[in-house]
A and B are shown apart, each in its own frame.
Chain A
Amino acid sequence: MLTKTKPAPEGEVLENVSHPMDRFLRTDRLPHIWCSGCGLGTVLSCFTYALDELGLTESDVGIVSGIGCTGRAAGYLNLDSYHTTHGRAIAFATGLAVAKPDKKVVVISGDGDLFAIGGNHFIHAARRNVNMTVLCVNNFNYGMTGGQFGPTTPIGSRGTTAPYGNYESPFNLPYLAASSGAVYVARWTSLHARRLKEAMIEALTIPGFTFVEAVCPCPTNYGRRNKIGEGLDELKYYSDRSVIKHGADPAEGDLLPGNDVVIGRFVHRERPTFLQAYEQQIIDKQHFVKPQGMGKGPHRMSGATSTDRRESS
């Protein structure tokens, strides 16, 4: 078993040292509530580095989250942040994104929030191709409420409401996102921090409904209960089973026991966003006045796109 975080030795505690990404955090709200070994800190960190690389500021981006451990992410980000009701982050974000076409709306929430109680909103926002990025932190259980099984729990895994093991088939999130109409779909684990950040950059840059799944350890409620171990053990467990396959068929993304964890960019395609379609099919044809902010972006964000960055590096 890998060791978990040890207490810092006497005399080595660094006081008042700022993190390079502190400007994106509400430092007055730290420390956060997340457990030691949780993947959420890594995901949040990747997100702030993605914002930094894209040169995005509080004037460009708004964060919406639902309820649960991941739902608290909105409250730690020093941006306009909206912590909504359980499962409704995407629905709220739909109104926000349509009201502010020149801003980027990002939903950060958990697997239970987005795919059980909020599943209907996910598929419809993807179908409409509303301009938003959805970051799902998938830890295979309801962590905040104490480790109940959820819509992504693998068959056989234990949860507090699956004391004999889960026997329901879980969602394959990339497949669900792709078949619902998402224009960008990727999955990484929180161990793949650099690639996860790259995926976030791509997702934030591509106009329309973009989706990134981050497979994350939840040692407190999932890892330990399922004999995977502590946070680092769980990270290693996922990474040992990970196979990077860009352009893989999302149907291969099932996280079944014994399967590889297929990670990478599953989908990248173009189709008109909700507001682009509205503009093309209604506003232009009927010669109506454009809603405020429409056509000003963020269909193309300020700063380089991920493709440009690749070419230049």
Chain B
Amino acid sequence: MAERILAGTHFLNGDEACAEGAVAAGCELFAGYPITPQSEIAERIARRLPQVGGVFIQMEDEISSMAATLGGAWGGRKAMTATSGPGFSLMMENLGLGMMTETPCVVVNIQRGGPSTGLPTLVAQGDMMQARWGSHGDYGVVALVPSSPQEAFELTVRAFNLAETLRMPILVMADEVVGHMFERVVIDPEAIEIVERKAPNKPPGEFLLYEPGEDLVPQGMPALGDGYKVHVTGLTHDERGYPVLNAETQEKLVPRLRNKITHHIDQIVDYEETDLDDAEVIIVTYGISARSSLGALRLAREKGLKVGMLRLKTVWPFPGDVLKGLADRVGGFVVPELNLGQIVLEVERAVCGNAIVQHVPHAGGAIHDPETILSAIEEVFALAH
């Protein structure tokens, strides 16, 4: 097991697959703290990183885990941390530092039931809005959401790549069932694309740490000791990285932290369509809820109901335009989530009253019964006709 990319067909749970994805993508530093249902990621990567020249550090809490991950990134490494709800809350402070300092790294949240300690061993999708808005201030977010162990592997690799492309922390918002569910995971080295960190575009003295390129992303990132004498601060800063505390500098910096994502939205947004061609009602779903939704879709089709499914692999940035386009030609949307109404708000915003939007809430602790989603589908059909 000493190879970086564990080629072959494996039987892994989502947590383990996530750890393998990180190692395959070139992760060399993992700083984390044990928490259910994330611990299998830390356990797997604590075994794997030393085999491939990386370092695993078990930190004293999730605050320091996030901070050490950022430190590792500025030390020139691909770095990651992973946690679950309570730890994710603690990470918000330094996640904001990562956003402000445009530090590439990966943050995984294996969601469990909340609020507070909630349901440590049981599933939920209640942190989706926290992922978007959890740290104070304005910034953009990219959140990838796997629905299977296979995807936990693939999307973790992708998260590392996007972190380098966009120069920011990328979130992987999985959930307890995907994390703990064992399935076949096929790892094909040929199919894995790796994006390496961009070197500074200019020599020391000429290089500006936060001078954006045409794609709004800073042009290269020196590591400690490379001779660039960088200044990295969470304060509002100019292109040199120096603190300049006024409205003009804020206006130049902060909107760019959002706009760099919008600029790349076509490269980022990823979803899977099922039976959309003739669909009159569409299930919009993500993560483990997509597995229940697929069951509901099949039940509906057996009843002759023309139902399709749009499964989001990237929830943030939210693909509002896709939803807007579909709203013009279908009667309604059904949105099952393991929360009391989070991503459905984005669906409603995109649909803008042009179709029915039916939420299927679940407070967490179990996944949706396909029949529950089917009932919601039938309700929408009844309302639409």
On A, residues with C-beta under 8 Å from B are 26, 29, 58-60, 62, 64, 74-75, 78-85, 88, 90-100, 102-103, 105, 120-121, 124, 275, 278, 282-283, 286, 288-292
Contact = CB atoms under 8 A, between A and B. Distances in A.
A62 B59 contact: no
Contacts of B230: 80-81
Range for the number of chain B residues in contact with chain A: 35 or more
Q: Which interface residue of B54, B69, B71, B230 has the most chain A CB atoms within 10 A?
A: B71
Nearest to A289: B53
A180 B230 CA distance: 32
Contacts of A105: 224
B271 interface: no
Given A83-B234, A85-B97, A100-B224, A95 B72 contact: yes
A84 B103 CA distance: 12
Given A85-B93, A283-B50, A103 B61 contact: no
Nearest to B72: A95
A74 B97 CA distance: 16
Given A81-B231, A99-B76, A91 B59 contact: yes
11 contacts: A58-B227, A59-B225, A75-B243, A80-B229, A81-B231, A84-B70, A91-B94, A95-B74, A124-B59, A291-B54, A292-B53
B229 A78 contact: yes
A51 to B, nearest CB: 13
Contacts of A58: 225, 227, 229
Contact of A88 (B50, B93, B222, B227): B93
Nearest to A98: B55
Given A100-B224, A103-B224, A282 B67 contact: no
B60 interface: yes
B43 to A, nearest CB: 15
A23 to B, nearest CB: 11
A124 B71 contact: no
A290 B53 contact: yes
B233 to A, nearest CB: 4
A299 to B, nearest CB: 16
A290 B97 CA distance: 30
B314 to A, nearest CB: 27
A132 B160 CA distance: 28
A96 B224 contact: yes
B224 A84 contact: no
A97 B64 CA distance: 14
A94 B64 contact: yes
B67 A88 contact: yes
Contacts of A60: 225
Given A100-B224, A103-B225, A291 B28 contact: yes
A124 B60 contact: yes
Given A92-B68, A94-B64, A282 B225 contact: no
Given A62-B224, A85-B94, A85-B234, A121 B75 contact: no
Given A91-B71, A95-B79, A290-B53, 19 more contacts: A26-B231, A79-B229, A80-B222, A80-B226, A80-B228, A81-B231, A83-B233, A84-B94, A88-B67, A88-B93, A95-B29, A96-B74, A98-B68, A99-B29, A99-B72, A99-B79, A278-B55, A286-B50, A289-B53
Interface string B33-73: 00000000000000000111111010111011101111111
A107 to B, nearest CB: 11
Contacts, number: 162
A291 B223 CA distance: 16
A95 B57 contact: yes
Contacts of B279: none
B77 interface: yes
A92 B53 contact: no
Contacts of A91: 59, 63-65, 67-68, 71, 94
B60 A121 contact: yes
B55 A64 contact: no
Contacts of B374: none
A59 B69 CA distance: 22
B154 to A, nearest CB: 26
Interface string B69-94: 11111111101000000000000011
B74 A82 contact: yes
Nearest to B77: A99
A90 B77 CA distance: 18
B242 A75 contact: yes
B55 A81 contact: no
B231 A83 contact: yes
Q: Which interface residue of A58, A59, A74 has the most chain B CB atoms within 10 A?
A: A58
B55 A80 contact: no
Contact of B225 (A62, A64, A95, A289): A62
A259 B77 CA distance: 48
Contacts of A26: 231, 242
Contacts of A80: 74, 222, 224-226, 228-230
Contact of B232 (A82, A98, A286): A82
Contact of B64 (A88, A100, A289): A88
Contacts of A83: 231-235, 243
A144 to B, nearest CB: 13
A81 B230 CA distance: 6
A137 B97 CA distance: 24
Interface in B346-382: none
A182 to B, nearest CB: 16
Given A75-B233, A81-B230, A84-B234, A291 B225 contact: no
Nearest to A75: B231
B142 interface: no
A100 B50 contact: no
Contacts of A283: 50
B232 A99 contact: no
Contacts of A288: 2, 50-51, 53
A283 B54 CA distance: 10
A289 B52 contact: yes
B169 to A, nearest CB: 13
A291 B234 contact: no
